[in-house]
Structure 1
Amino acid sequence: MSAYVKIETVSFGEAERRLAASPEAGGRPLVLIAFAGAKLRFGSESETILKEALPQVTRAAAAAKFTGKRGTSLDLYAPQGLPSVGRLLVIGVGSAAEGEGSDRAEIFDDFLGLGGQTAAKLGQGQTALVVFDPPEAPADPAAAAGQFALGAELRAYKFDLYRTKKKKDDSEREGASDIALAVADPDAARGAVGQSLGLAEGVVIARDLVNEPANVLYPEEFARRAAKLAALGVEVEILDVPALESLGFRALLGVGQGSVHPSRVVILRWNGGAPGAQPIAFVGKGVCFDTGGISIKPAASMEDMKGDMAGAAAVTGLLHALAMRKAKANVIGVLGLVENMPSGEAQRPGDIVTSLSGQTIEIINTDAEGRLVLADALWHVKETYKPAFIIDLATLTGAILVALGQEHAGLFSNNDELAGRILEAGKATGEKLWRLPMGPAYDKLVDSKFADMKNTGGRHAGSITAAQFLERFVDKTPWAHLDIAGTGMGSPASDINQSWASGWGVRLLDRLVKDYYEG
C-alpha cells in the first residue's frame, strides 16, 4: 500500500547537521512547535536551531498576532538567520488552560491533531524537517511521535481515484510527503511510528472501501479485497451462496436474494495469541448498496447507501492493523456482504424467514435489513468459535443520527465490563461512543404475532429495538453493538480526516485489543 506521508525519525543533532549541510536559500520547509503562554515559547531544541533567527520569528509572530493558540500557525518564507530554510512553519499547540473541560488532561497530549494540522499546512509532496520537541514533554515521547505520524498520514489521505481532471493545487505536487521527524530517542520513536503507520493503513483500507461506488464494490469484489489480508498471515475463508444455504444463513440470504450480485460471508482469523486460547470476535454489516428493497428508500441521498458497509470495512481495516503489528491475540473477523435490491425475486414485507439460529423472523420492512445480516453472522460466530466476546459494527439505524448526531456512535451491550472498556478506548482515540439503555420493555416491541420476532419495532426507540433484536442472537455471550450510522460515513471534516468516509472504528478497536486483550 502506498503511503501518503513517509516519516523518518532522526536525532536533534542529525537535524542540525542536515540544516547546516544545505546552506542555499529555498531549501526544505522547517516545522517547529510553539506553546502559548505569557509569551510565545519554543522547546529548547527548537530555540537552539533558531539561534539568531529567534528575534525575527518573535517579531513576526507579534505582527501577525500569532500567540501559539491551538490550531493556529505562522508561515515565514526565506527567514533571515536560517539560510537553509526556504519556509519556516510554526504550529501552535495551545496551553494547558485550553485543555480544561476536554477529555484529555492537557492540551499538548493531542499529537494526533498536531500531525494532521502539520500535514495540511505542508501540503502534498513536500520534503520537510519537523523538530518534535513540545515545550511540555509528553509522558511517553515515542508514543506521542507515533500519534503525530498517524495524524499526518490520515489527514493527507485523499480518495480521488475517479477524478480525471484534478484541481491545479492537487496536481502541482505529486507523491507522498517525506518528513524527517527530529526526536530525542529516534530508535524508540521509529518503532512507535512504524506501528502507527500500520494502523493508518488499516484506517485507509476502511476509508477506501466505504468511498468506493457500489458498481465497483459489490459483495464478490469486497470479498476479493478482504482476501488480500492472507498476505499478512490472516486466514481467510469465503462462504458463497451454496455454502451459506447449506449452513442455513437464510436471514442473510433473504436480504440479498433480489440482487444480481450474490451474497458472501468472509471469515478472517488472526491467530496471534496462545494456541487454543479463546478468541475475540468482530462482526461487520456489509450491505454494499441498500435501496431499501421492496420498502424502497426515498431518492434523496440514496447515493450515500454505498457506505452501508462501513461496519464490514472497519472490521477489514482492524484485521489489517492487528496483523501489521503482530497483535498477541486470537481474533475472528466476520463480514456479512449483501446487496439489498428490489426485483421480482426480492424479499417482501410480510415474508417469514427462519434464521440460522432456528428462530423465525417476520419481515415488516425490507429496509430493516442490516439486522438480518448480523443475526445469522452473530449466531454463526457464537456457535462456531465460542468467543470471549462479540462486537458488531453497523450503519444500522437513522434513529441513531437523530439521537446522537455525528459526534458519538451508539453503544449497546449486555456486559458492563465490555461496555466500559469500549468507552475508555473511545476516549483514548477520540472515536467517542454513548451507551444507550436496553431492557425487557424495549424487547417486547420486536415480538411478532406470526413469528418469534419481527425485524422492526416501529418508530419509537428505533436504535434500541434494533439492538434488542440483535441480542436475541448472542445468548449469554458478552456482546456489544456499535451503531455507526452517524460516524462511519458522511463524516464532518476534522484535523485527521477530510474524506467522506472516516474509517471509524479501526483505531477504537485496535486500542481496545491492545489495552485489554493481548497476552
Structure 2
Amino acid sequence: MTIKYTFFSKLDLKKTKNIGLFCDENFKILSLEKLGFLNQNLITNLIKNNISPKKEILTINVSDKQNLILIKLKKNQKSVDNEKIGALFYDYINSNSIIDLTFVDNNFLNKKLDQIFIEEFLHGIQLKSYEFKKYKSKKEIKDFKINFFSNNKKIKFDNSKKFESLLSGINFTKELVSEPGNILHPDEYAKRLSTLRKDGLKVTVLDEKKLKKLGMNSLLGVGQGSIRGSYLVCLEWNGAKNNSKPLAFVGKGVCFDTGGISLKPAKFMEDMTYDMAGSAVVVGLMKNLALRKAKINAVGVVGLVENMPSGNAQRPGDIVKSYSGKTIEILNTDAEGRLVLADALTYTEKKYKPKFIIDLATLTGAIIVSLGSEYAGLFSNDDKLANQLYEAGLKVEEKVWRMPLNKNYDKLINSKNADMQNINYQGGAGSTTAAQFLQRFILNKTPWAHLDIAGMAFSKYNGALNSWGATGFGVRLLNKLIEDNYE
C-alpha cells in the first residue's frame, strides 16, 4: 500500500466523505468548532448509542455521504502506543476499503505534541501495511491518502528522516526473510549486501577461498553439502567523529536449512526459508544506521550458508577445528546455526575489538517452547547490556526475557572426542546449552548477548505492529538500544 499524507489549513469539510477525529478514552470530542455545519447534538447522541468500551475505533454515519471516524487515545500515551494505534487504524481502513480520509485538528492534543504524535501514528500505519507480494502474478496496488486539516501552518516533521530510515531498514529485513530459498541463496544474498555500499556502508565479502585460509571450518562445514557458496560478510558504519570501539552485531544467515544429513521432517520444512532472519536483522539495522547517519561506529557480521544433504555434506560424528582453534564434534548436523555463529563471533571479537557483541539467530525450537511468540530469549555475560536490551524491548514492544547461563551446563556439551559437541542429547535446556556453546567463542571477555529469535522472526498471525509473515523483529529493538545508550 502506498500512503500519502497532506496538510491543509483551508478545506471544505462539507464535501469530505470520511472525517477522522482523535478522542479520549470515552470517545469524548473536546472541540467540534470546525464541524459547525453538523448538528452537534446529533453527533453526541450517535456516539452514545454506538459506544463500546472494547472498541478503539468508532464509525458514525452522519449521513449517506459522510462518516465520522473516531479514534480513541489513552491518557499519557507512549510512543509505541501511538504507533500501535496507527497500526490498528491501518487494519481498519484496509478492512473497510477506505482510500481517502481527512483528520481534523480538534484541539485534543497539546500543540507541542501534535507533530511527534502524527509522525508516530503514521509510522505505525506504515509498519503494519508491509506485504510481501513480489511473486504474485496479479498485484493489487492500493493507494491510501491521508489529509490533515489544521490551522497550524508550521507543522514540520522534524523526525521524518529517522522514521524513514528505520522503516527502510525494517522493510529490507522483512524482504530478505520473505524471499524463497531458490532466490535468496548465499550467492545472491552476498550480492545484495554488496549493493549497500550506495548507502554509505563499507562492505567486505569473504568467500570460501578466504574463509578456508582463515580456518573457519566450523562455518564452512555447514555449507559444504550445498552447490552454493558460503560467505562471511562484514558491514561497517563509521559515524562517530572519534575512533571509538564499534558496536558489533552478528547474525546467523542459514538461507535454507534442511537439517543436512540429520534431515528435518518434511512437515513445515518450507518455513526454513527464514532461518537467516538473524542475519537479516543485522543487515536491516546497519542499513538504518547508515541512512539516518547515526553518530556511532558499528559493524555487522553475517555468516551466509545453505545446509543441504549431499554426498559432500557434513556427517554426524565429524570433528572440525573452528577459527578460534577449538575443536567441535558434530553430533547433529541440524544444530548448524551455532556452528556458523561460532566462527563469526570469534572473528568479530578478534578483528574489530568491539565495545560489545550482540548476536541474533533463529537458533532453537526450545526457546519457542519456553517463551512462545511473545519474548525473544536473551542470554548474556554482562548485566548492564542485558538490562539495556530488556528496557529497549519494552519501549518498542520487541520484548526479550533473560534466560540463565551457568558453567554447570557445560558438562552437557563437553565431548569425549573433541573440545565440545554441537548438541546436548541429555539434560534438556536446549536453548541454554546452545547459548553456552556460543559463549565459548567469546575469547576476551567482551560484553556479549545472544538473542534467540526463533519464535519472533516470522508470524502466522497478525501482530500489533506487523501483518502475517516476516516481522522484522530486532531492528527496532537494537536501534532503540543504540539511541538510548550509545548516541
TM-score of the superposed pair, with normalisation by structure 2 = 0.92
Given the alignment, which residue of 56, 66, 89 partners 1:71? 56
Alignment equivalent of 1:91, drawn from 58, 71, 82: 71
Letter in 1 for 2:23: A
1:58 is displaced (CA, Å) by 2.3
**Conserved? CA contact 1:35–1:41, under 8 Å:** yes
2:118 is the counterpart of 1:128:
no
The CA deviation at 1:273 is: 0.9
RMSD: 2.4
Secondary structure at the counterpart of residue 482 of structure 1: strand
Task: Give the number of equivalent residue pairs.
Answer: 482
Check conservation: 1:145, 1:192, Cα contact below 8 A. Answer: no
Give the partner amino acid of 1:5: I
Q: Which residue of 2 aligns with 1:99?
A: none
Offset of 1:513 from its aligned partner?
A: 0.7
Assess if the C-alpha contact under 8 Å between 1:236 and 1:266 holds in 2: yes
| 1:280 paired to 2:247 | yes
User: 2:102 aligns to what SS in structure 1?
Assistant: strand
**CA deviation after TM superposition for structure 1 residue 346, in Å:** 0.4
Aligned to 1:18: 11
SS in 1 for 2:451: strand
Equivalent runs, 1:203-282 vs 2, <5 Å? 203-282=170-249
Distance 1:181 1:293 in 2: 55
- Shift, 1:64, TM fit: 2.3
Q: Is the 8 A contact 1:109 1:144 kept in 2?
A: no
What amino acid does structure 1 have at the position aligned with 2:72? G
Query: Aligned AA for 1:157?
Result: Y
**Match in the other structure for 2:116:** 143
Indicate the residue corresponding to 1:507 in structure 2. Answer: 476
Partners of 2:22 and 2:307 lie apart in 1 by: 50
Pick one of 84, 93, 96 that aligns with 1:113.
84
- Map Cα deviations across residues 282-313 of structure 1 (whole Å, 9 max, x no partner): 01111000000000111111100001011111
- Displacement after TM superposition at 1:188 (Å): 6.7
Residue 439, structure 1, aligned to residue 406, structure 2: yes
Deviation at 1:507, TM superposition (A): 0.5
Structure 1 pair 18–495 and aligned structure 2 pair: CA distance change class (3 A): farther
Higher deviation after alignment, 404-413 or 220-229: 220-229
Equivalent residues in 2 for 1:470-509, closer than 5 Å: 470-475=438-443, 476-509=445-478
Aligned equivalents of 2:151 and 2:395: distance in 1? 24
Q: Report if the CA contact (8 A) 2:184-2:255 is conserved.
A: yes
For 2:84, the aligned partner's letter is G
Q: Which residue of 1 aligns with 2:436?
A: 468
Give the superposition deviation at 1:71: 2.8
Evaluate the alpha carbon distance shift between residue 439 and residue 140 of structure 1 in structure 2; reply closer, same or farther with a 3 A threshold: farther
How far does the alpha carbon of each residue in 1:167-197 deviate from its partner, in whole angstroms, 9 at most, with x for none? xxxx3xx344232345787767512233212
Name the residue aligned to 1:61: 47
* Equivalent residue for 1:51, pick from 29, 36, 44: 36
- Tell me if the contact between 1:336 and 1:374 (Cα under 8 Å) persists in the aligned partners: yes
The code of the aligned residue for 2:452 comes to D
**Shift in CA distance, 400/108, structure 1 to aligned 2, threshold 3 Å:** closer
Report SS of the residue matched to 1:258: coil
Contact kept in structure 1, 2:186 and 2:230, CA below 8 Å? yes
* One-letter identity of the residue aligned with 2:68: L
Select 2:24's aligned residue among 30, 35, 49.
35
Q: Is the 8 A contact 1:143 1:189 kept in 2?
A: no
Task: Tell me what 2:260 maps to.
Answer: 293
Q: Gapped runs of 5+ residues in structure 1?
A: 81-85, 97-104
Matched residue SS, 1:91: strand
After superposition, the C-alpha distances for 1:111-160 in whole angstroms (9 at most, x for unaligned) are 01111122222237834333466846498544333321211101111111
TM-score norm. by structure 1 comes to 0.87
Corresponding residue number in structure 1 for 2:307: 340
Q: Secondary structure at the match of 1:55?
A: helix
Deviates more, 1:195-204 or 1:108-117: 108-117
Q: Give the aligned residue type for 2:181.
A: A
- Quick one: structure 1 residues 141 and 386, their matched pair in 2 at CA, closer, same or farther if it must change by over 3 Å? farther
